[in-house]
A = this chain, B = another copy of it.
Amino acid sequence: MEKPDPIEAVIIDLSGVLYLDGKALPGSVEALDRLQASGLPHCFLTNTTRQTREALQQQLLELGFDIPCQQLLTAGTAAHQYVVHNQLRPHLLIHPDLEAEFSDINCHSPNCVVVGDAGDAFTYASLNAAFRILSQHPEAPLISMGSNRYFKEADGLSLDMGPFVAALEYAAERKAIVTGKPADTFFQMALDQMGVTARQTCMIGDDLENDIGGAQSLGIAGILVRTGKYRPGDENHEHITASKVTHDFACAIDWILAQ
């Protein structure tokens, strides 16, 4: 077997890795301090789309994580870039708290639909409005910030944006373009920002499909942590095998820094 390149950059998922249910996970604040002190390039890749990047940065600060805004790459930012790059006028089916992120975009006479984790803003009326645009414009792309099935809340699992995108895909008979994890383009955005290659980089995440599978499809090594949405048995998935499994984020950072 070829010797892997030394790890020269790290991509990190947020929810379920650094924090869970509004609390920093044990040892994660100190582990991030150690990573920051090491000087190893790193950035954060999240499919959380219920808030702007600025609000996310503030929330992380309150949890004890001092992270520059430009290190936070969100699926919302990726969708924004996609819309700008393709000169589209989106109909937004997103969380009200994310709308500010699209304030510079012309949304009149929409020719695409952009879906985020809208939460309670997913209603029959809002989904039907999005569907009507798609049915009236057979060429209009359906753009989704992610395909996550659900996320973990204090009182149980809750529907993420993926199921609502599946509903629109079925109704409008077209496949969504995903801008967040596990899309290659989103991971590539992180590599470009850090100026590194996939082989030099590892991804730390708790979501086997979106974090580990997504990273590996581009050739980035995936470290799975046993926190957040990790479930026993993730080690034996039929298609995806993490390069390494660690107890938590702190252990993952210790292992990387010891290389």
Contacts and interface: CB of A to CB of B under 8 A. Distances in A.
A141 interface: no
A159 B172 CA distance: 10
A168 interface: yes
A30 B122 CA distance: 44
Interface of A: 118-125, 127-128, 131-132, 135-136, 149-150, 156-159, 162-164, 166-171, 173
Contact of A167 (B123, B124, B131, B163): B163
A156 B132 CA distance: 8
Given A149-B173, A173-B149, A127 B166 contact: no
Nearest to A150: B171
Q: Is the interface of A mostly helix, strand, loop or mixed?
A: helix
B149 A170 contact: yes
A131 B163 contact: yes
Contacts of A128: 158-159
Say how many copies of this protein the assembly contains: 2
Contacts of A166: 166-167, 169-171
B170 A157 contact: no
A189 to B, nearest CB: 26
Contacts of A164: 167
Contacts of A168: 163
A138 B33 CA distance: 41
Contact of A157 (B120, B123, B125, B132): B132
Across the A-B interface, the 3 shortest Cβ-Cβ residue pairs: A163-B167, A166-B170, A163-B171
16 contacts: A118-B124, A124-B159, A127-B159, A131-B150, A131-B158, A131-B163, A135-B150, A149-B171, A149-B173, A159-B167, A159-B171, A162-B171, A163-B168, A166-B169, A166-B171, A167-B167
